[in-house]
Chain A
């Protein structure tokens, strides 16, 4: 596979001047083509009618399992809960060893060390949310300290949130510089930038945020925290996919996409994979470039896998509860 330039270096030379000032950045982001919501949602819905059967379904289910960031982000999280989630991540289906591992386990920073210990040597990554997740309402120093703590605890990937207040107030350069600062603090860890699309509200905003995040050096752009009313939808994920496709065409830099929150069924996951396939294409059909932020999705994928393998549905008692 050819070496793909990484995002860490910041905006490529061709786009360096767009982040030179608040005014330049604003002009650039507002100059992106608009998104017509009716057309966008119609396209996402039309792709949702693809009929994925037999061999295609088997491929999609396995791919979806391998793309999961198995997530627990609750106040009630304990080391025991995280350890059992990690065991599930390593061996999602103990009755079928051909089941792929998930991509990562995603936890709060204070539990990253527990996850890192439990996943050591497995190849499953430790992802940690940081930067005052989920609201992002803290001083930059606090956000950076949060990030460093997660890394020190063994996180391989950082899921940061942007400052939606600054974004909605039009202070794009401030959002950009915060992402740059976290990018720097994250070092070689892969950085996922969460926009909280439900709070940005319009598709035009989501497209602008996508470009802003990519210019600032995101390795992944991610829809949501899972903590607000509207999380990942086919339509907002389609905007992100169009953005990474266009960004690579413009700069040669490939950026990943992670829809998160609200994707609970295998059927939904397959629809998202169809979006990836028909928008960004083959190069994104890999867990290096596409992830699902989900918790209950995994068990439904496992049940569908069992159905495909055995020809019958078992029940929720035949997949493990973790």
Chain B
């Protein structure tokens, strides 16, 4: 049946961003080719169109970049905090001025909807730089001693799910504290980091303070293992996080890891149902579920499970999947064929293990990497879809009977990054949140971020905190 009120296409203009046919590495304030001349292609996940050819960093390039960062460290760390803050404020303002361009770029390179890059990613990126710009001249009052010192050169490796936002989480506190950085963006989403390199030049940031090395895992491994790197910060999968921890063990490098998650979203029988449904949808389908803190396990009290599931399915039926550049798109493309294969494999395992699969009725585009919003009911703690991080738009629904059982099930995971609690009863929120072993607990909301709020994990979700005053600690001694 055709809808009465069919929204006409409302695409954001691509012409606001000018993507060059090729990009180099950004080392010591200059764009340069890789030492061995290797390149790779960055592809738009929604269309499989090649966006640009990018230099691929290798070990020699890591050496060059770390050396440049080391040279820059002395003068940069000697600047008064207020001066470093000025650079960061300038960068934040330029990001705001160029936010439409960056939003379109991020949507093209990552596949996420423009609604999210425009309304979530870019405002948060700018806010993060503004926030840490404010700290740069107040470090003595952050609670880490009267005169805390920077660590030196930070080697930072970031994922593809929020390319520019993860860059901001890494670079803003590092620079505010007086460190210099070498950052490796993910191989599927290098472009916004390279645009950020241009912003650094526009802001007049001294050469070598920020170095960007697009590349693959080998470049990331070389960076974290580099003997002249003082600090390693990584956001990504738990498997890679463990490798990094092994590589760094026995050195005096400082390490923070922000890894996977299997967040529980707990809905009690007295929850505000309509808002809980919105929170569940936002919790697992924001950014196609490719969020480390996604609420990928829905724990719903058995007495209201049918009602909540019915509302949830009705709501999933209104999600609009398609062209990420269309301003009305809710669900965009999965970032890469590898990720799509992983999601598909785990969803099939869920079915094979006997969970009941339900998929929102929607048509998938013929090119690009797509996965329809999916939920599994009848899931138990023993199912793979309840234990493993899927990192896709797949929600596992489990039920519970009592608050104690909800807490036990929520905590019964090797991860501990995020959780949500939905109830109109304030005392229950406090009691449950207190017992949840997760770095972030949201009450009657989900996936809310603020630069002033620390973020990080328990257990295999990592250690160290990013954001807020706590986020400074990782970059100071």
Contacts and interface: CB of A to CB of B under 8 A. Distances in A.
Most buried by A among B271, B275, B328: B275
Contacts of B271: 33-34
B337 interface: no
A108 B432 CA distance: 54
A55 B275 contact: no
Nearest to A58: B8
Interface string A30-70: 00011110111011000001111111110110010000000
A130 interface: no
A274 B318 CA distance: 12
Contact of A51 (B119, B274, B328, B444): B328
Given A51-B327, A52-B10, A39 B275 contact: yes
A305 B271 CA distance: 43
Interface stretch (A121-129, A176-184, A277-285): A277-285
Contact of B5 (A36, A40, A43, A60): A60
Contact of A35 (B5, B9, B274): B274
Contact of A39 (B6, B7, B270, B444): B444
A181 B179 CA distance: 75
B297 interface: no
B272 A33 contact: yes
Contact of B445 (A38, A50, A51, A52): A38
Contacts of A35: 272, 274-275
A284 to B, nearest CB: 10
Interface in B349-379: none
Contacts of B10: 51-53
Contacts of A242: 274
A116 to B, nearest CB: 31
B20 interface: no
Contacts of B9: 53
A5 B135 CA distance: 63
- Which has the most chain B C-beta neighbours within 10 Å: A49, A51, A59? A51
A61 B6 CA distance: 13
A186 B327 CA distance: 46
Given A38-B444, A38-B445, A278-B318, A43 B275 contact: yes
B278 A282 contact: no
A52 B7 contact: yes
Interface string B241-261: 000000000000000000000
B101 interface: no
A193 interface: no
B272 A36 contact: yes
Nearest to A31: B270
Contacts of A53: 7-10
B128 to A, nearest CB: 21
Contacts of B279: 39
A40 B275 contact: yes
B4 interface: yes
A273 B115 CA distance: 20
Contacts of A285: 4-5
A239 to B, nearest CB: 9
A53 B327 CA distance: 11
Contacts of A63: 5
B424 interface: yes
Contacts of B7: 50-53, 56
Task: Say what secondary structure dominates the interface of chain A.
Answer: helix
A253 B10 CA distance: 36
Given A34-B272, A49-B119, A277 B8 contact: no
A55 B8 contact: yes
Interface in B255-293: 270-275, 278-279
Contacts, number: 75
B8 A33 contact: no
Contacts of B272: 33-36, 39
Interface in B312-327: 318, 327
B444 A59 contact: no
A39 B6 CA distance: 26
Interface in B296-346: 318, 327-328
B5 A59 contact: yes
Contacts of A39: 272, 274-275, 278-279, 444-445
Contacts of A56: 5-8
Contacts of B445: 36, 38-39
A277 B424 CA distance: 28
B444 A273 contact: no
A44 to B, nearest CB: 10
A56 B8 CA distance: 5
Interface in B405-464: 424, 444-445
Contact of A273 (B5, B119, B273, B327): B5
Given A34-B272, A49-B119, A54 B5 contact: no
A223 B4 CA distance: 25
A40 B3 contact: no
Contacts of B5: 56, 59-60, 63, 273-274, 277, 282, 285
Interface in A186-237: none
Contacts of A40: 274-275
Nearest to A32: B273
Contacts of A51: 7, 10, 327-328
Contacts of A33: 270-274
A100 to B, nearest CB: 15
B275 A49 contact: no
Contacts of B424: 34, 36
A95 to B, nearest CB: 25
A60 B7 CA distance: 10
B270 A34 contact: yes
A282 B9 CA distance: 19
Contact of A57 (B4, B8, B444): B8
A290 to B, nearest CB: 11
Closest 6 CB pairs of A and B: A39-B275, A51-B10, A51-B327, A36-B275, A36-B272, A34-B424
19 contacts: A33-B270, A34-B272, A35-B272, A35-B274, A36-B444, A38-B275, A38-B444, A39-B272, A49-B115, A50-B7, A50-B327, A50-B328, A51-B10, A52-B10, A53-B7, A53-B8, A56-B7, A274-B5, A282-B4
Given A36-B275, A285-B4, 15 more contacts: A33-B271, A33-B273, A35-B275, A38-B444, A39-B279, A39-B445, A51-B327, A56-B8, A59-B4, A59-B5, A59-B6, A274-B5, A277-B5, A282-B4, A282-B5
Interface of A: 33-36, 38-40, 42-43, 49-57, 59-60, 63, 242, 273-274, 277-278, 282, 285
